[in-house]
Structure 1
């Protein structure tokens, strides 16, 4: 696909700085460049050469964002690992797709919630997605928004590791991780 957006929203190529085992030698990164795909207001600018792993990671993120948890299950390995390195309650790790689905479905305080991908970095079996969340609460509290970085490992057509970084300061502003009346009432 040709670049259809000017400036920073145009599809571009980058070299991968690291790979398993250390820095990539120049010959390796020249033959396997990192693809950057930008998103603008939910309209994906996806080049034809986006890898199956990048498409899988974007599909998994869309299913999680839409709370399509059974669709999400089809994207993930049964033994997937979910990491929240900077959770407001301390680092958390969850094991298995069923535990991950429970973790994602527990947050029922939102009337609406979505994560819009902003940029995708495709490193073969590692996919990095930058995204922004937008949510409205059932209780009428001010809207929730946050900035995310997802690092996903893919193998054999499944996401095997999901590492989610988000701004804990934004989460703490919304009392994320603390008891809330609407959460206790089952809203």
Structure 2
């Protein structure tokens, strides 16, 4: 048995580091051109699914201008029986840029990696917190 992280866990950690560094081009480079991002709990006004790197880029490229993420908790990573899939639990804290209000969001993410890049990302977050942030932006 090895203690090295799975490919999916490695990509997850790298992605969180890049988001914390506000390196959105670097973060987006972790995604496949045909990747899919899903947000099953998205409230009205938020996308529930993004298909392809262009849609994902449009959605994420200005993320640091909306939310100034100061910290991610150390993720709890649950390795599936498939080494390309992990389930991660973590919390993001920071500030809503437009209002200066504090931001804290717990996440559960299911990440599938293909050839070292994100192929599918399913993001479960609190729609009440997301809606509150959106009304304050």
Q: CA RMSD in A?
A: 2.4
Which structure 2 segments of 5+ residues have no match?
none
Q: What is the CA–CA distance in structure 2 between the aligned matches of 1:65 and 1:77, rounded to whole Å? A: 21
TM-score, normalised to structure 1, is 0.61
**Higher relative contact order by CA 8 Å / sep ≥ 6: 1 or 2?**
2
Partner residue, 1:115 = 72
- Residues 103 and 48 (structure 1), Cα distance of their counterparts in 2 relative to 1, 3 Å cut: same
* Number of residue pairs aligned between Structure 1 and Structure 2: 133
Report what 2:43 is aligned to: 88
Say whether residues 1:147 and 2:112 are aligned partners. no
> Which residue number corresponds to residue 127 of structure 2?
168
The corresponding residue for 1:100 is 56
Alpha-carbon distance in 1 for matches of 2:55, 2:49: 10
Alignment of 1:25-44 (within 5 A): none
- Between structure 1 and structure 2, the one with the greater Rg is 1
Q: Bigger CA drift: 60-69 or 162-171? A: 60-69
Structure 1's 69 and 48: CA in aligned 2 closer, same or farther, altered over 3 A?
same
Gaps of 5+ in 1: 1-31, 33-46
